[in-house]
A = this chain, B = another copy of it.
Amino acid sequence: MGKRVGKQTVEIESKPRIIATSSIVGPKEGSGPLKDYFDIILEDDLNDKDSYEKAESSLIYTSISECIKKANLKEEDINYLFAGDLLNQLTSSSFAARDLNIPFVGLYGACSTMTESLSMASMIMDGGFANYVVAATSSHFSSAERQFRFPLEYGSQRSPTAQWTVTGSGAMVLGKEGNFPYVTFVTIGKVKDYGVCDVNNMGESMAPAAVDTIAQHLRDTGRDSNYYDLIATGDLGSVGKKLTEKLLLEYGYDIKNIYIDCGDEIFDHKKQGTNAGGSGCGCSAVVDCGYIYKNIIKGNLKKVLLVSTGALLSSTSCFQGLTIPGIAHAVAIETD
């Protein structure tokens, strides 16, 4: 049964367990610094499909069904699928959900979708509405590039602050019991807009939302930032990460020693030419489901705050001269 804590946070008293995760990535992510933590690395990012959109949908379908298998469950055991992606009208998730026999709640939070879906999944579990739920999301470099930016064939130059959309999908299965990492607190974020208009600088547009959600989470729970072994924003990239660190210092929180950003970690920016780092819903999804979850299971991390961040723009809103609002949701994951 949920319990409100402070202004914006809820305690997840029943501690739903993350009993399995799965991650699937493209070849570029699969040759980056975190390659050893992903379950499946594609050789070809088309994944035998005839469009990048169909490929992306096959990624999220695969991560969800693999995750259910890993949890020793069947589709019919899962009460809800919470999922979303960056494609217009959630094409990837909707078509994946069509091929899965699971009641589907479509979510959109741009690149914050991993913690948005995990938040909803945790609250629904805690409310007693489900025995098992899945939280998932995906993104694909090539489908995102042509939808939000330019046709790939242009070979357009990228600005130094630009980020590289991750090709990948991550999924988590939550259950009630077992010796697994569990969710303890959820802080749903507010939309923050500091007037950034540069579509090639997502990190700057999302940083204020990350800062607001992290600071609110710490205030609400009465925790010091050092309570956590790791705070992982995603996907602010190197530019947004620096800003977040600096702004949080102004709020009195020095998180430097325990802070990573999923977009900053997933690529070797210089070698891989990814400028400010990775982005896309799939970025925090595969880093959370791969690198972070596996390090919790190994005992290297015990208390983690996941803070996926989203830039709530559309190509229409940008062309109409609007600024880029950001949002971030925080989920605390702990283990005994």
A88 CA to B320 CA in the complex, in Å? 14
A90 within 8 A of B: yes
Across the interface, A89 reaches (CB within 8 A) one of B54, B80, B104, B313, namely: B313
Which of A19-27, A119-127, A243-251, A269-277 is found at the contact surface with chain B?
A119-127
With both beta carbons as reference points, the residue of chain B lying nearest to A54 in the complex is identified as: B320
Which of A108-116, A152-160, A164-172 is found at the contact surface with chain B?
A108-116
Across the interface, A95 reaches (CB within 8 A) one of B80, B86, B147, B325, namely: B325
Residue interface mask A71-114, B partner, CB < 8 A = 1: 00000000110001011111100110110011111111110000
Contacts of A104 in B (CB 8 A): 188-191, 327
A322→B95 contact, CB < 8 A: yes
A88→B1 contact, CB < 8 A: no
A89→B314 contact, CB < 8 A: yes
Count class of interface residues, chain A: 35 or more
A298 within 8 A of B: no
Across the interface, A109 reaches (CB within 8 A) one of B106, B130, B325, namely: B106
With both beta carbons as reference points, the residue of chain B lying nearest to A79 in the complex is identified as: B4
A254 CA to B168 CA in the complex, in Å? 46
A193 within 8 A of B: yes
B51→A87 contact, CB < 8 A: no
A3 within 8 A of B: yes
Across the interface, A105 reaches (CB within 8 A) one of B89, B103, B120, namely: B120
A8 within 8 A of B: yes
A123→B129 contact, CB < 8 A: yes
A33 within 8 A of B: no
Across the interface, A314 reaches (CB within 8 A) one of B4, B87, B126, namely: B87
With both beta carbons as reference points, the residue of chain B lying nearest to A313 in the complex is identified as: B89
Residue interface mask A213-255, B partner, CB < 8 A = 1: 0000000000000000000000000000000000000000000
Contacts of A109 in B (CB 8 A): 105-106
A88→B88 contact, CB < 8 A: yes
Q: If the complex has contacts A95-B322, A97-B191, A102-B190, are A108 and B124 also in contact, measured as CB distance less than 8 A?
A: no
5 contacting pairs across A/B (C-beta < 8 A): A51-B320, A98-B193, A103-B190, A105-B119, A105-B188
Ordered nearest first, which 3 A-B pairs have the shortest CB separation? A127-B127, A2-B129, A94-B312
13 additional A-B residue pairs with CB within 8 Å, beyond A89-B313, A105-B120, A124-B127: A2-B130, A4-B79, A80-B188, A90-B312, A95-B317, A95-B322, A95-B325, A104-B188, A104-B190, A105-B188, A107-B107, A126-B127, A147-B316
